[in-house]
């Protein structure tokens, strides 16, 4: 059994999707490629082929990531996603997609984040990754937000929801759990905005020389430019998103966690017990 599966069992949780060794390996490899897709402007060496094609690299990753996310979801589903898990995945993805337009991105107000955090907490990391990715995809279709940024959004939200499923569990209930989820939601909301800034940052090259990516500068210089870019363009959106996620997770968390846990108990995601007949006792050998 993998460490992800052990974490859920030790906490008495029933994951909607159990991550086997193959799914963990695929998820890890795709996450590494995703990190490279987001961080390539900071990782590309001066004078390298990637830096020389800085205008093309984002499009290459935008074409590659949907295929990789699809492979991960297919692997997770093949690992044991039964019809009940598929139904719950569809219901929560639809709810998340419906929540996203409520804030319309105004000042970073995005209420879907708290639902992703609480769902990942209850249903586990495997289900969480699939839920975060599919919710972003469905919301993009609903709001007309399809573009080269969508694969990055799907991967980033998958990480956010998966991370909630990996939070420590033993003894974590009640107020302590809510505080932990509120803190995680706030940090994850800011982290999501930061990595999405990395996705869009190379596109502004030449538009603002003091904050744009330059393939001719060192890592330290580009990192300083990226920090300035985040502080001046997105921090006013990331902080309200973080505050809203924390407040909703803490105030609505008890009701939603209770409902999700009741639904998972009734769905009985745990594998059915298998009974094996007892082995027959050896026949007694006659004496004499």
Residue 206 has pLDDT above 60, yes or no: no
- How far, in Å, CA of 58 to CA of 274, rounded? 50
Instruction: Please determine, for residue 190, whether its predicted confidence score (pLDDT) is greater than 90.
Output: yes
Q: What is the pTM of this model?
A: 0.80
In contact, 27 and 19? CB cutoff 8 Å: yes
- Give the model confidence (pLDDT) of 102-138 as tens digits: 865 566 678 899 999 999 999 888 889 989 999 998 9
Q: In this model, does residue 56 exceed pLDDT 60? A: no
> Is the model's pLDDT at 140 over the cut of 90?
no
Percent of the chain with pLDDT over 70: 74
CB 23 within 8 A of CB 75: yes
pLDDT score of 12 more than 50: no
Q: What pLDDT is recorded for position 96?
A: 92
pLDDT at 199: 85
- Give me the domains of the chain, ranges plus CATH numbers: 3-267 (1.10.1760.20)
With beta carbons less than 8 A apart as the criterion, state whether 114 and 97 touch.
no
| pLDDT surpassing 50 at residue 2 | no
3-state secondary structure (DSSP) of residue 167: coil
pLDDT over threshold 70, residue 60: no
Asked if residues 184 and 117 have their Cβ atoms less than 8 Å apart, the reply is: yes
Exposure string over 128-159, b if 16+ CB within 10 A, otherwise e = bbbbbbbbbbbbbeeeebeeebbbbbbbbbbb
- pLDDT confidence bin for 45, thresholds 50/70/90: low
The residue that leads in pLDDT, 217 or 80, is 217
């Amino acid at each position: 059994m993998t460490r992800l599966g052990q974490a859920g069992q030790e906490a008495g949780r029933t994951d909607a999707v159990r991550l086997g060794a193959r799914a963990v390996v695929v998820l890890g490899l795709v996450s590494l490629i995703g990190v490279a897709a987001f961080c390539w402007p900071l990782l590309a060496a001066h004078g390298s082929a990637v830096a020389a094609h800085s205008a093309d690299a984002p499009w290459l990753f935008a074409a590659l990531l949907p295929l990789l996310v699809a492979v991960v979801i297919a692997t997770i589903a093949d690992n044991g996603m039964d019809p009940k898990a598929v139904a719950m995945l569809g219901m929560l993805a639809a709810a998340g997609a419906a929540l996203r337009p409520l804030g319309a991105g105004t000042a970073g107000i995005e209420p879907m984040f708290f639902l992703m955090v609480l769902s990942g907490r209850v249903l586990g990391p495997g289900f969480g990754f699939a839920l975060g990715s599919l919710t972003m995809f469905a919301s993009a279709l609903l709001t007309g937000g399809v573009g080269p940024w969508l694969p990055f959004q799907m991967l980033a939200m998958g990480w956010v929801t998966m991370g909630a499923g990996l939070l420590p569990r033993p003894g974590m209930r009640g107020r302590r759990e809510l505080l932990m989820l509120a803190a995680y939601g706030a940090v994850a909301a800011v982290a999501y905005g930061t990595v999405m800034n990395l996705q869009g940052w190379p596109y502004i090259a030449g538009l603002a020389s003091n904050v744009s990516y330059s393939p001719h500068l060192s890592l330290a210089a580009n990192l300083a430019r990226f920090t300035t870019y985040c502080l001046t363009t997105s921090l006013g959106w990331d902080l309200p998103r973080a505050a809203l996620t924390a407040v909703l997770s803490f105030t609505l968390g008890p009701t939603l966690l209770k409902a999700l846990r009741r639904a998972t108990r009734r769905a009985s995601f745990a594998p059915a017990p298998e009974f094996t007949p007892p082995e027959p006792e050896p026949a007694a050998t006659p004496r004499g």
